[in-house]
Structure 1
Amino acid sequence: DGRPAWSLLLYAPRDRGLQEFLIRQETVTEGDAKGLARYIESRREGDKAVLRHVDLESLDLEETKLRFLLSEMEHQGLIKSFERTPEATGVMITGDFSRKNLTAIARRSEALAEEKRKKLAAMVEYAATKRCRREMILRYFGEEKPGTGGPCCDVCQGI
């Protein structure tokens, strides 16, 4: 609409540590993948397995890790979900839980974690910058700051 706007950024240096902790907590390891694969195999009947949610809780996996693992196993063609109830998830086992496949899942998780760390670093850099914030945002979107329209952010105003 072209009208002036205000924004507020709340940041404290300890925020970074919390975000790094959360990234570590949700990053899947090869051991996590092996644990879920062992559980699926233990529930196997022919080419199907019924994964009881109460049992999945005992695997000591955060919900985000579990969802990631099941999604990646399906994406890699190791399983195919066919039924879900509040108590259980039915899967068809369509591939093998080889070390190669489980390592690939862990590597994918680590790659996503690295991307999150890069985004976090960019956000921290933005919060701590001594450069014009408006200019940084415009550059991010491929635009240039139009002229020198006066102080436009806390940095330019010396706040």
Structure 2
Amino acid sequence: MNHLLRNTLVLLFLLAGTIQVHAQTPDQRQERMSRIENAKIAFLTDKLSLTQEQAQRFWPIYNEFTDKRKDLGQRQRQLRSTNVESLNDQQIRDLIKQNLTLRQNEVNLEKEYYDKFQKVLSVRQTGQLLVAEREFTREILQRLGGGRRGGTPAPAGAAN
């Protein structure tokens, strides 16, 4: 399947799953997240031009990486949600240090996993991974943003 057709199918798949977040039940949210995850797999597989052998080796590593990255992100969001106004100066210093430590942990995680990715992917594919992740996230945010405002998401082939 050529890249344009595959990308179009992925985007159509995403459009079909665009539902307002506040109207969803937990089961609907889980189903939507599953569809997004499946679309991400298809999108990244296509963008990186993974062979079947590469895909079998890449996805377990990538899933482990994203799980660890999500954990760090949740911990960072918890810190950011702390009401600084209610803290004394020492607590604020500690909070800042914790945040910097988590950010450093995130950088260290990326270094560790990009080394692991290069054992499975070419250097070019590893570089393309960063770009493809951003592209996918941008597409999702555009689709979700269109749905939240009550507008209709742009057609799959529409220019940005």
Give the TM-score normalised by structure 1: 0.32
Greater strand content: 1
Greater helix content: 2
